[in-house]
Structure 1
Amino acid sequence: MLKIAICDDEECQRIELINMVKKALEFKNIKYLIFQYENGEDLLQSKLEINLYFLDIRMDKLNGIETAKKIRKLNKEVIIIFITALKEYVFEAFDVKAFHYILKPLSEKKLRKVLYSALPQFYEADDFILAKTISQCTKIFVKDIMYIESQLRKIKIHTTYDVIEYYHKLSDIEEELKNFNFFKCHRSYIVNLNYVRSYDNVFITLKNGEKVYVSKYKLTDFSRAFMYYLKSKGTPYG
């Protein structure tokens, strides 16, 4: 269950953001709880275990930056996204390791893009898929999957420790992994962006040196997806 706190001293802004977030999460069939606050003091006093904070910066009493600093003292891993009309605070956002910094007026397209890029941060280390055959069922942890290969009707899941083979559709695996950092780079391959080291016009090279084909028709989309993946790991401004 994803737990989100939205803090903005303007009720109309809170409602607008809540509606956008709900719509985006329901589109992905993600279960969530949203808690709303009109100031930083109330948020901090609630002492709820939150996964993701949306913070306005200009608020009465305790502003968003100061609120974020106090949150960071309690939790260094939680995701913080600033939503504000003030460009000049972007460098302070870096100081509190904000995941992103979205400028008002809110764009639903931009909000959705940033939210979706943050979602993989919340998946537990023990998330898994199941490889089923007639005789057995194998549990495969998502974090261990480097890439997936399709050969005729057979799937080969290449993990950090083994290759698991079974009969399945690549499209079904793609659906199972849609909320993680995976990209279908070829009609026969899905790659985990977490393991990508580099790429050219023909191959994606993984961190262990293995190479995966990238289709010329997928190259542009893959390049965009990988660059956005890298950006989501590094810069909070957008």
Structure 2
Amino acid sequence: MTDTFGVVLPAGGAGRRMGGDVPKQFRLLGGAPVLVQTLRAFARHPALGAAVVVVPAGEEAAAGARLREHGAAAAVVAGGPTRQASVANGVAALPADVNLVLVHDAVRPFVSADVVSRVVAAARAGGAAAAAVPVADTLRQGGAGPLFGETVPRDGLWAMQTPQGARRDWLVRAHANAGRSVATDEVGLLQGAGYPVRIVEGDARNLKLTRPSDWALAEALWPAWMRDEG
């Protein structure tokens, strides 16, 4: 699998900010759970070698059944107490000959083949890379009470996305190096271990479905997305 990559999809979120009784990764978008649509986006990529979905312990069988119901192929493994621990479990579950790993949010179904290809290429060239978009909005700190504080310069600031990828051995060492410290994403984890991470410009459409307004946007965007990417 030297010319392929593996992907780990952490899918353990409860989706409280989204609301509703169904976790957001299992809500239907375009007739299938969001997790399935995200897997399909990677399955369409010719260089995908293996996929692992990480779910809360005890939910592996139910999640696997949902994936099979929609024809999605992936190994399903139990996560840990944190997202970081869950990703480590997912990396460990990939086949031994996978040497490049992408980590992608399960609730980012609008990931294009172009973004995936560019993250893979940059990670192969430099060891690690991640998708991000330049910050376009004005940024201000919160002041006293309901008032705005100082404006924060946005030059050189990037809003992080996924996929975030690296050589497998770098990721494994970064997880081992982290100990009890927790990074918010793979970039922070890798940087904490001393590994440089290349910037790959992402896509504004590659949104993470977090709030009800995100869901309304996703449903409006889906038909055009499938015409372009499906």
Structure-1-length-normalised TM-score: 0.23
> Whose Rg is larger?
1
Structure-2-length-normalised TM-score: 0.24
Q: Would you tell me which structure has more strand in proportion to its own residues?
A: 1
Higher relative contact order (CA 8 A, sep 6+): 2
